[in-house]
Structure 1
Amino acid sequence: MKLLLIEDERTLSRLIVKGLHKSGYAIDTAFDGEEALELFDINIYDLIILDLNIPKIDGIDVLKHIRQTDENMRVLILSARSDIDDVVIGLDNGANDYVTKPFDFQVLEARIRSLLRRTFSQKSTIVSAADIKINTAQKIGFVHNTPIDLTKKEYAILEYLIFNKNKIISAEELMEHVWYSEVDLLSNTLKFHIHSIRKKIAKELGNVEVIKTVRGQGYIIQDNEVNQL
């Protein structure tokens, strides 16, 4: 999943990015309101982490623009403004959650996972499709009950396909949600990772096609329906 972190404290921003990278998230960063809106207007994100005390454009005004443009975007406010009135203003202006500073990183990560599950209508941390399961809290994939040795990027690809099971996902959409904005969308990177995931699944399932290629359209995982190659 791809996140946008809007935080003007650069040291804190680096720490958050480092922690979320370890969990396999792709993250763009903005250090003021203007930069945040520029990134938001030209990229696609699954969730936005927003500090309210940012320069140039106040966080609440950034939030209002985001909500006017995309009513479904998940926005988590991360702010030192801890007064009840500030929390209420943030939530009333469209934030989905509010975490006050200082904060525990594990709590922040859990809130992010919760919002992303809500985005894709998932209630459990265990999500399945066909013969594959993923644990969104531990970032682990399974064939039946056997763990698959996935890289962080491979897990991110599999997670997005399972969250969107029974839907054809274009290569461009996968790249937009799993990689950084600067990546070359015309590269063979995605094909390489898809091939690697298929090989690892095949070690447990044999010649069963779980991730299907739809020629000219993209990839799909269909729930409870697999094809013999």
Structure 2
Amino acid sequence: MRYGPAWWWRAARSPLGQKLIRYCLGSVVTTVISFTVLSVSYGVLHLWDAVADTLLANIVATVPGYWLNRTWTWGRTGRSDPWREVVPYWVLSLLGIAISMGTADLAGRLATSHHLPALAATALVDGANLVAWSGVFVGKYLLFDRMFRGVAEAMDQRAGRGVATALRALEVEGRMEPGLEAASPAVVGEPIGLLRLPGALEDTGVGSELDPPAEAAVGGR
């Protein structure tokens, strides 16, 4: 059988499968947060109506959702890019919140018109919220994947250009090791620690403390 247990196991262990699993688990976490806040604010405290309480619950859940998606699902670290990450994420999230508010309004009206008890009304509003977010689940994944991967690729390109600039500067100063000039375009993407920059270790005083084998390990390619 083509799609048997072994196939699903291999798919789950693939990079894409791992990313999808983390995305789904992150959505479970944010859904639990959203449901908890909505159940307390609407079903217990009766703060506002179904629409306002749904807005509150989803905004509260969006904050940890951003962190989970960025750092855990897509493995992004460091400072967030406001215009390429934060703003698009909130725009997409607010779109989903708007849809959930529409379904919550419909659910609240149905609960009122049918005179449902508080527990049943809360369950209906929670269910409407779940249906709304399920509808945008796949679309959000595709957009988030493109957004976070695009930022990572742009940063890698900037880092590569920075290494290339440093190599050219060393070449102009005459500090480039012979033979490294021809190899520099091929090693732009390698960690800078793998390159031997003549004089750099001597300038910092580190080179004098290394024994000959250690120097060879640092300088060799």
Sort the TM-score into its range (normalised by shorter chain). under 0.3
Q: Which has the higher helix share?
A: 2
Q: Which has the higher strand share?
A: 1
Could you state the TM-score of these two structures normalised by the residue count of structure 1? 0.23
Could you state the TM-score of these two structures normalised by the residue count of structure 2? 0.24
Larger-gyration structure (1/2): 2
